[in-house]
Structure 1
Amino acid sequence: MAIRPSVLRLLQRLTDLPTVVLSAKGDVLAQNPMACALLGDLSRWPDGRRNIIWQRILGTGHARVTLTRKEEAAWMQQAVGLLRTEERRSTVRRSMHKTIDHPEVGRLVLDCDTLLLPDTDQSMIVYSAAAGTREASALDVLRVIGTERISALPW
């Protein structure tokens, strides 16, 4: 599925925030380097299984995203909403918190906002943290180290 050039430019310019572009069915279409640093390189998932819903339910899962039972229920509702969006009826929550267990910077609770892309069946997922928080500092570290593995961090 093609992503508009203007959306790709926007994705490339969002250098401070981890961002992923998804199809209406949850297929991972693109991610920026910060998203690779935070979530891992989702393009390494096998063709046909590069889908956040498939991975969470049937695959190896999204190993870095940790959900409580309440968050899991909300996520499942959002996943169903994504699939319903394909039929033009949507109950998708546009904003939530996600907990990421990152191997280098530890557990991060991040704001996760879904931005709908006009004239497409695509959305952009943007992760952020409030300034001055441990999570914001951890994102600053990820911006520097990228996908490199390091032996120890001071947290």
Structure 2
Amino acid sequence: MLQRLLDDLVDMPAMVMGRRMDVLAWNAAAVALFGDYAALDRAERNIARITFLDETSRELYADWPSCARGNVAYLHMDAGRHPDDPELASLIGELSMKSADFRRWWAEHPVQDKTSGTKCFHHPVVGDLELAYETLRAMDDPDQALITYAAEPGSPSHDALRMLLAWAAEVPSTMPTDHRAR
């Protein structure tokens, strides 16, 4: 069901996030906004890893510290739900070793779910975007979440998002067929 929703959201960046903030699936609009997850090894397709270890994320998120802290809080929540997850422990260890920001914020022990809100982006192609995000979970698989991003109709962000999607439609997609959500 999540894959069907994802496929139908052609004018809205969307992705399916799994445990540990792994990116399991995405649509072409998400590629336009965030970059091509298909260009990354499967193990590197992780929102927290990208946020803290990919310098371009600091440029993309207009309020990177807030976004990054939210990711730390979500990983804390995930660690509480799955305390014996060796892959999560490995991810937390890697981020702690490689990012002073992650290490400092992890020590604060924040806990927060990803539900809804607004994120501001500074996209290299279209400039500033303010997008509302919603997180939807299937009752039969709460470890997967469909995250969508939308602009307020008629806003400058709406126009910029439409321009970004039109630009991206002209660029050939390299999205593989194995990006399907369960």
Q: What amino acid is the match of 2:147?
A: I
RMSD: 2.3
Point out which structure has higher relative CO (alpha carbons under 8 A, 6+ apart).
Answer: 2
Give, in whole Å, the separation in 2 of the partners of 1:24 and 1:145.
Answer: 32
Aligned to 1:3: none
Give, in whole Å, the separation in 1 of the partners of 2:169 and 2:55.
Answer: 19
Aligned to 1:81: 77
Structure 2 unaligned blocks of 5 or more? 84-110, 172-182
Using the aligned pairs only, state the percent identity. 29
**Counterpart secondary structure, 1:93:** coil
**Counterpart secondary structure, 2:161:** helix
User: Residue by residue, what CA displacement relative to the aligned partner does 1:43-67 show, whole Å, maximum 9, x if unpaired?
Assistant: 222231211112223x215622232
Which of 107, 120, 124 aligns to 2:146? It is 124
Give, in whole Å, the separation in 1 of the partners of 2:61 and 2:170.
Answer: 19
Aligned to 1:19: 14
Which of 108, 124, 135 aligns to 2:157? It is 135
Give, in whole Å, the separation in 2 of the partners of 1:52 and 1:71.
Answer: 11
The alpha-carbon distance between structure 1 residues 47 and 70, as it changes in their structure 2 partners (threshold 3 A), is closer
1:49 aligns with 2:44: yes
Contact 1:24/1:83 (8 A) holds in 2 = no
**Counterpart secondary structure, 2:44:** coil
Q: What amino acid is the match of 2:49?
A: W
Contact 2:70/2:112 (8 A) holds in 1 = no
Contact 2:16/2:147 (8 A) holds in 1 = yes
Number of residue pairs matched by the alignment: 141
> How far off its partner does 1:148 sit?
5.0
What TM-score does the superposition give when structure 1 sets the normalisation length?
A: 0.78
The alpha-carbon distance between structure 1 residues 65 and 104, as it changes in their structure 2 partners (threshold 3 A), is same
1:98 aligns with 2:98: no
**Counterpart secondary structure, 2:72:** helix
Q: What amino acid is the match of 1:34?
A: A
Aligned to 1:60: 54
**Counterpart secondary structure, 2:119:** strand
What TM-score does the superposition give when structure 2 sets the normalisation length?
A: 0.67
The alpha-carbon distance between structure 1 residues 21 and 85, as it changes in their structure 2 partners (threshold 3 A), is farther
1:8 aligns with 2:29: no
> How far off its partner does 1:146 sit?
1.2
Contact 2:129/2:157 (8 A) holds in 1 = yes
